[in-house]
Structure 1
Amino acid sequence: MRYFGNDTWVYLDGEFVKADSTKVDFFSQSLHYGYSAIEGIRAYNTHNGTRLFKAEPHYDRLRRSCELVGIAFPWKTDDLVAKTYQLLDKNNLRSAYVRPLVTTGHNMYLTPATESSIIIAAWEWGPFLGTDLIRVSLSPHQRPNPNSIPPDAKIAGQYVASIVATTEATKRGFDEAILLDSNGYVAQASSNNLFIEKDATLYTPSVGHIFPGITRQTVLELGKALNIDIVEKPLSPEDLLAADSAFLTGTATGIVGIAAVDGTVFPENWVDTLGATIQRAYKNLTLEKENYQVII
């Protein structure tokens, strides 16, 4: 798909400019080394108008990602949220995916560049993995070791591993890849967190080797509000294959159910699972049909 046209606006370092007029610094560390930080935010068309879902936590996390790897971040969260709403309005978008990106300046040494820029783009985009149940495969590729790059930093360069894993899985006919961590436990999908259901309890890999997503955290909060037991613990591949059901979570994806892992089909009918209950509650929350914010 094409993400911008002649009339698409982006926000770049304090100004709204046409997307096709921006210039690339061919000597930036972002281009040469993947030294940049990204975020993903959803805007939903609700009965209260266009609403960004948890924009403040997303921009706070973008700041934290930059701080963890030494990228300058001089911008204020409130200003970025306001500019994002202006950007949506300029592009006449009511429901959209928003991509903030912090890039770094030119420096061919392996030390932090002193300059950084922020660009915010937005486009219409449906659920990343669609709305039907998906088929996933255990990947031969691992999640990056947390001792190399902080696992809770959303750094662009880390997504090379995700691209490699997804490419390998899709070539074999699957929709998504499930990566293990360096200890052999299930970590997450290429860009989504994983939950499994077993005996009326939800389980999700504990933090340390995973990217702790904001949608994942929302599911934990919804589980508490709905009296659903959710346990964070290391999960083996055998735990995954023996589950009653499973689903993925992420800002771009939302919540999507998994039909099967490799040749193993989950026995529970998706509409009867705890994941489906969470999925419905999450949709109501993002569309502001029910005010779970009072609870969580």
Structure 2
Amino acid sequence: MYYDDETLIYLDGNWVKAAEAKADLFCQTLHYGLGAFEGIRSYATPEGPHIFKAHEHFERLILSSKKIHVNLALSSHEFTEICYELLSRNNLTNAYIRPLVYMGANMALTPSNTHHIMIAAWEWGKYLGSQPLDVEISSYQRPNPKAFPMEAKIVGHYSNSILASTEAKAKGYDEALLLDGQGFVAEGPGANFFYEKNEVLYTPPLGNILPGITRATIMEYAREMGYRVVEKLFTPEDLTDIDSAFFTGTATEVTGIRSIDGKAVKLDWEDSIGYSLFLMYRQRVINKEIQDFTLV
């Protein structure tokens, strides 16, 4: 699914066949989850592949790495150039790009003195599919922000996300929705959360959530279209009488939610603000964020 015998990856300054690449079995990331990563999308455009928000993603990778005491030598511009070469070498246009910073061998509970950079790309459709989702409020919580830097995309954070998503799917739901330690709605296992009520969009504030790049983009687009966006804390009880809801994220893009804990939202996805934002998002990424959006 992710690579074949001819797929090339970037590894520590070299172009290596994915099938032949090796990592140390004693690396700290494998044993303790200390590492940083990003998820980035490239879209086919009339002028060739366009990596959406590349600078923002790589600035966050650099920040995430600093949070785990790794100073990356590459700039966001250099990372971006590598990614365009990666796409070219693998003949990809519509692609998902995965940069990973992983640690060297070290069994001590202090950061390794060495680190590695791997960047791969593959064809990957919308992570949660294209149909509105049935979502469960998870028994798993978003990690405590005092325990983990929430503004960073850290490898170990996502063990919790896997458990939450697995639990939801075992119960017949499509995805989970996690609360924070105080019982407020936080986010999905790998996506930010919005809901609509009375033509206003609501989303959790920064603090207990990942400050998603797609989240910020959708907030910008919503305000451009004249909608009010409110960042505030809210509980699952606040979701019992909403008009619509959706997830946002690089892998997820903009994906509608049909029901939460078995209770359907009021609007069909195609009649919601979220769907209009989805259309706008798709047109912008394909046309390199041109400003002449026309709702269709």
Q: Indicate whether the TM-score tops 0.5.
A: yes
Q: Which position in structure 1 is the counterpart of 2:112?
A: 113
Contact map agreement 2:41 2:95 (CA 8 A) in 1: yes
Q: Distance in 1 between matches of 2:36 and 2:275?
A: 32
Q: Distance in 2 between matches of 1:278 and 1:271?
A: 11
Q: Which position in structure 2 is the counterpart of 1:43?
A: 42
Helix, strand or coil for the counterpart of 1:102? strand
Q: Distance in 1 between matches of 2:89 and 2:189?
A: 32
Q: Distance in 2 between matches of 1:107 and 1:94?
A: 37
Q: Distance in 2 between matches of 1:36 and 1:139?
A: 25
Distance 1:290 1:84, change over 3 A: closer
Q: Which position in structure 2 is the counterpart of 1:21?
A: 20
- Give structure 1 regions of 4+ aligned residues with deviation exceeding 2 angstroms: none
Q: Which position in structure 2 is the counterpart of 1:176?
A: 175
Q: Distance in 2 between matches of 1:289 and 1:56?
A: 14
Matching residue's letter, 2:192: N
1:85 to 2:84 alignment: yes
Q: Which position in structure 2 is the counterpart of 1:203?
A: 202
Helix, strand or coil for the counterpart of 2:187? strand
CA RMSD between the two structures? 1.3
Question: Alpha-carbon deviations, 1:51-88, whole Å to 9, x = none?
Answer: 00011110110000011121232212111100100010
Q: Which position in structure 1 is the counterpart of 2:4?
A: 5
Helix, strand or coil for the counterpart of 1:271? helix
Contact map agreement 1:73 1:116 (CA 8 A) in 2: no
Question: Alpha-carbon deviations, 1:116-160, whole Å to 9, x = none?
Answer: 110000000000001111111000110000000011110011100
Q: Distance in 2 between matches of 1:155 and 1:198?
A: 33
Q: Distance in 2 between matches of 1:276 and 1:63?
A: 32
Helix, strand or coil for the counterpart of 2:168? helix
Equivalences for 1:60-71 in 2 at 5 Å? 60-71=59-70
Matching residue's letter, 2:16: V
Contact map agreement 1:72 1:115 (CA 8 A) in 2: no
Matching residue's letter, 2:271: D
After TM superposition, give the deviation of residue 48 of structure 1 in Å.
2.1
Identity %: 45
Equivalences for 1:116-135 in 2 at 5 Å? 116-135=115-134
After TM superposition, give the deviation of residue 223 of structure 1 in Å.
1.3
Matching residue's letter, 2:141: Q
Q: Which position in structure 2 is the counterpart of 1:246?
A: 245
Q: Which position in structure 2 is the counterpart of 1:94?
A: 93
Question: Alpha-carbon deviations, 1:168-199, whole Å to 9, x = none?
Answer: 00000111100000010000000100000011
Helix, strand or coil for the counterpart of 1:85? helix
Q: Which position in structure 2 is the counterpart of 1:155?
A: 154
Contact map agreement 1:162 1:190 (CA 8 A) in 2: yes
Matching residue's letter, 1:233: K
Q: Distance in 1 between matches of 2:89 and 2:240?
A: 47
Contact map agreement 2:10 2:86 (CA 8 A) in 1: yes
Q: Distance in 2 between matches of 1:279 and 1:31?
A: 36
After TM superposition, give the deviation of residue 42 of structure 1 in Å.
0.2
Q: Which position in structure 2 is the counterpart of 1:59?
A: 58
Distance 1:116 1:72, change over 3 A: farther
Contact map agreement 1:194 1:205 (CA 8 A) in 2: yes
Contact map agreement 1:40 1:100 (CA 8 A) in 2: yes
Helix, strand or coil for the counterpart of 1:227? coil
Matching residue's letter, 1:93: L
Unaligned runs of 5+ in 1: none
Matching residue's letter, 2:6: D
Q: Distance in 1 between matches of 2:211 and 2:292?
A: 20
Contact map agreement 2:50 2:288 (CA 8 A) in 1: no
Q: Which position in structure 1 is the counterpart of 2:256?
A: 257
Q: Distance in 1 between matches of 2:5 and 2:66?
A: 35
Question: Alpha-carbon deviations, 1:79-109, whole Å to 9, x = none?
Answer: 1100100010110101000000001111111
